[in-house]
Structure 1
Amino acid sequence: MGLRERTRQAVRADIAATAMRLFLERGFDAVTMEQIATEAGISRRSLFRYFATKEDIALGDVAERGARIQELLEARPASEGPWEALRAALQTVVEEGEFTPEWARKTSEMFHGTPSLRARQMEKQSRWHGQLVPDVERRLGVAPGSVTDPRATAIVASALACLDAAVEAWIKDGGARPVEEFYDRAVAAVRG
């Protein structure tokens, strides 16, 4: 990666950090793009070169997380079943996150409590299906891209629905217990 791209990524990260601080302090809907630009020390026009919307700022790394989950899933031992491999990949992404549990809870509350963010998050996460299904097909011994065997698609959709349900329960619990506990309970309910 060249200097220009590293600089661009650093500026994006700085803008996102500034925006998230404002969102958590004032509420997502109360913050304008103008305020973000001012706080970040850039013009509004420059801000739009990096992000088209506030939702894009808040959810900027959701697509990257999907790619990371795919990479981790593909690196899991071939002997692992799809559910176990997906859980391990998701767990690693959580562990790699550079955030405190309190920050994660507050941002999750914001995502789940703001309809526009929630819709955009679901849209971005829907792309994860296409990234994760091929490895699950491989683990099931299904021909890649099989249109007559829905198992891999169903497992990925269920795992992501379990993740969403777990985060929602974790928020309601106030973050008192690990989100993984809720995920495991959700998966057990689906698989039982």
Structure 2
Amino acid sequence: MADTPSLRERARRAARAEIAATAMRLFAENGFDATTVDQIAGAAGISRRSFFHYFGSKEDVVLGDTEALGESVRAALEARPDDESAWAAIRAAFLTIRPVDKTQEEQLTLARIHHEAPSVRARHLEKHLRWQELLAPDIQRRLGLPPTTTPDPRALAFVAAALACFDAAVDAWYRSDGAEDPEQLFDEAVATLRG
């Protein structure tokens, strides 16, 4: 039987989702920078302290749990067939984090915040550095590089390039107002690097 979250964990997830939805509504109405943690807490009917029980910062509302997402991408990457190329494997791993629970309008709001809010962009870059360390070992193996105690710079560069392609695709999708296909944009960016 699969692990079923406890009642407490389900309640925590529901509260977190409700706070995030409230925050996203306020971000859409007022802008990210103009919305304060106190406003989010007040609109959600919680204290400022309770907000920080669920989120480390206002930026974390937008970015989600970057540690958990990174771990899920790492697990998805490691689960790919051993003979799959590094590019195919990392592409498939990235696809596992598509926000299937959000409407296109909600996804565009998130992308706009990523695009416009300097504090979110800075936090996003921190996430990329952590993800490079997480994903590099499997990429290093797939590139046929010998195992090392610290990630090979070539594997780190590969992951950094893949993340840059991912970001470029999302940014282009946002600028097209959701009309472009982000997967195709990612593939085009990768093809340019590999060409």
Q: Paired residue for 2:194?
A: 191
* Structure with more relative contact order (C-alpha pairs < 8 Å, separation 6 or more): 1
**1:163 CA drift (Å):** 0.8
Q: Shift of the alpha carbon at 1:64? A: 2.2
Question: Compared with structure 1, are the counterparts of its residues 148 and 121 closer, same or farther at alpha carbon in structure 2 (3 Å cutoff)?
Answer: closer
In the other structure, the counterpart of 1:109 is 112
Match of 1:119 among 122, 126, 133: 122
Aligned AA (1:51): F
Tell me the CA shift for residue 148 of structure 1.
8.8
Question: What corresponds to 1:171 in structure 2?
Answer: 174
- Structure 2 distance, partners of 1:2, 1:93, is 24
**Residue 191 of structure 1: how far off its partner (Å):** 0.9
Greater shift in the superposed pair: 96-105 or 130-139: 96-105
The amino acid across from 1:152 in the alignment is A
TM normalised by structure 2 equals: 0.88
User: What is the CA–CA distance in structure 2 between the aligned matches of 1:42 and 1:51, rounded to whole Å?
Assistant: 13
Aligned residues with identical type, % of pairs: 53
* Structure 2 unaligned spans of 5+: none
Aligned to 2:75: 71
1:59 to 63, 72, 97: 63
Shift of 1:77: 0.7
Q: Where does structure 1 lack aligned partners over 5 or more consecutive residues?
A: none
Q: Distance in 1 between matches of 2:63 and 2:97?
A: 16
Query: Hey, what's the Cα distance between the residues in 2 that align with 1:148 and 1:72?
Result: 19
Counterpart-to-counterpart distance in 1, 2:21 and 2:94: 23
More helix by share: 1
* Aligned Cα root-mean-square deviation (Å): 1.9
Match of 1:83 in 2: 87
Given that 1:16 and 1:57 are in contact with CA atoms closer than 8 Å, whether structure 2 keeps it comes out as yes
Kindly tell me the number of residue pairs found equivalent between the two proteins: 191
